[in-house]
Amino acid sequence: MYKTFELCPAGELSPYKTFECGQCFRWNALGEQDYLGVASGRAARVFLSGETACVECGEDDIGFWRAYLDMDADYAAARESVMRGAYLTDCAECGAGIRILRQDKWEALCSFIISQCNNIPRIKSIVEKLCALFGEPFETPWGVKYSFPAAERVALLEEPELAPLRAGYRAAYIINAARAVASGDMDLDAAAAMDGDAARRYLKGLSGVGDKVANCAVLFGLHRLDAFPVDVWIKRALREHMPPGFDPKSLGEYAGLAQQYMFFAEREKSAGRWR
């Protein structure tokens, strides 16, 4: 049975900002602040009702979704800690309401392998095809949804079987990563226990995983909030707004949250939605 649960004041969780800041690929808008998504074989709707952020989910799944949405973290304090200088302060104010999701480690790694040299609509399309072809179906109030396929399932595939995804050269990287995870050669739980630099080096042992993909997997899959992925949006922001030689490590344990604020603000600015 699905029920609606109140989560927090609207200012503490913005569905639009959280699901449109580049950290996840299985959430889709039903309305301006109303999103439907799938994670770990469950589906939920996260939306604003007046001044309250709510989740509609399976009655027994509320604990999972509270953890997934990182509801026990103090994002007001984290945001304040990265408001250093006018630009970062503006970005943090623009991005207030973003929460870093606690995503499945394998799903995040695989999704960001798919993300390289790609745009978000195409990444989402590839991920959804992967799930529809090889994930497990389950019933929801919003129709049949598909779980993200386990590494063990993907490890059994050959590259031609991924042709319908139109993932190109990434198909080989997906299968290689799945086989490494399924065999235990790549232990994502062990990676989560490493410090950030060690985890990045470890993940970069996989074919197709460079600095950007590793940083994304560390931030969004291992939930190491000091990781700072650098893509074209962040490169431009650093070049235009930060002093030469700026070290993201200077932002401390929430550097990854600052990165999300910057990424979201730059995309909003590009779309004419932010000054």
Catalytic positions, please?
Answer: 212
DSSP state of 227: -
Q: Which two tokens stand for residue 5?
A: 């649960």
The beta strands (E) that lie in the chain are given as 2-9, 27-31, 34-39, 42-49, 52-58, 137-140, 143-146
HSE-up of residue 164 (Cα within 13 Å, Cβ side):
10
Q: Which residues pair with 45 in a beta bridge?
A: 36, 56
Cα dihedral 67/17/103/40 (nearest 10): 80
Indicate the burial class of 74 (C-beta count within 10 angstroms; 0-12, 13-18, 19 or more): exposed
